[in-house]
Structure 1
């Protein structure tokens, strides 16, 4: 048995030389590499178009007005913390039911005057306003009014919260709200209840104040 000779290596057989040769554009890899910059340009153009035409609901134009609103919200949070307000939302066949409660927390002596002033002016109103604010999509925001059923129960007839999505819930009196309750980011479910509580006094007034009183 003999191996390939020198002449065979220099002059390959005719069947190798007769193999068909494909030009470069018949292969897939060149087209894949060429497509990368074109796809990048298309995506960049799409992002530029969305940036120029879409409204960004997370951008605030009037910073002065927004700053005043933040101060008002802080005051409302302080009042809710002093009063120890709680609320539970649950769906029903009649609509959205809200049950509220007041359980004043233990406060240091330096806050007793503030507590007395808040308690003297406090009463459950005939109407409460509830707002649900989507974390990114302003078009999914909504609000409605809850009417008192007597005692500490309210009802929004025929109203249900959105069935899905991540929202923040705000509850407060309708006019000149002295307090508010709000939830952190929650995932809503049509069949589930939702509890809201005022922030702890230590969070609102600072832990140092409570540490000094003990």
Structure 2
């Protein structure tokens, strides 16, 4: 009678070990991807943000009561914002472009009016696609906020 082979010389134990190692490696890769791409949309302090939303609603109502209306023209590497309604506003504007999903694309600018009353903002890159646009008076007394889908050389009314 022949001596039985030791376990490590059989095919099936190695087959099972390789399968288990493959699953472990794939799990570690998936964990690494999940950690690197953490969701930035979840708020840590949702209660304070909820209270801030109520303040924002008052500012939006104030802008509607004043009849504030702005025209935003998007050129290749420039935004031109002009006022067409409400009391003439000459102070600086706080302009925010907020991307719906990619936080690193968001940008805020304090814009001042030129001699013609237009607010011109130079852009480093052309912007296209969906954006939440927010215009706010420098004194924080009113706010206009609207979602637009931006294409080059198109005008958008914010009111």
Q: State the TM-score, normalized to the length of structure 2.
A: 0.70
Deviation at 1:47, TM superposition (A): 4.5
Say how many residue pairs are matched: 138
CA contact (8 A) 2:59 2:141 kept: yes
Q: Which SS does the other structure have where 1:64 is aligned?
A: helix
Deviation at 1:100, TM superposition (A): 1.1
CA distance in 2, matches of 1:61, 1:168: 21
CA contact (8 A) 1:87 1:99 kept: yes
Could you tell me which runs of 5 or more consecutive residues in structure 1 were left unpaired when the two chains were aligned: 1-34, 104-121, 198-214
Deviation at 1:94, TM superposition (A): 8.8
2:60 maps to 77
2:70 maps to 87
Could you tell me which runs of 5 or more consecutive residues in structure 2 were left unpaired when the two chains were aligned: 1-18
CA contact (8 A) 1:125 1:173 kept: no
Write out aligned runs for 1:185-196 (5 A): 186-196=148-158
Deviation at 1:82, TM superposition (A): 1.1
Change (3 A) 1:169 1:179: same
Q: State the TM-score, normalized to the length of structure 1.
A: 0.54
The root-mean-square deviation of aligned C-alpha atoms, in Å, is 2.9
Equivalent of 2:146 in 168, 183, 189: 183
CA contact (8 A) 2:74 2:151 kept: no
Higher strand content, 1 or 2: 2
Change (3 A) 1:189 1:71: same
Higher helix content, 1 or 2: 1
Change (3 A) 1:196 1:161: farther
Which has the higher Rg, Structure 1 or Structure 2?
1
CA distance in 1, matches of 2:125, 2:63: 23
Residue by residue, what CA displacement relative to the aligned partner does 1:93-133 show, whole Å, maximum 9, x if unpaired? 89321111225xxxxxxxxxxxxxxxxxx651421121111
1:112 maps to none
2:39 maps to 56
Equivalent of 1:134 in 99, 117, 129: 99
Change (3 A) 1:160 1:90: farther
Q: Which SS does the other structure have where 1:99 is aligned?
A: strand
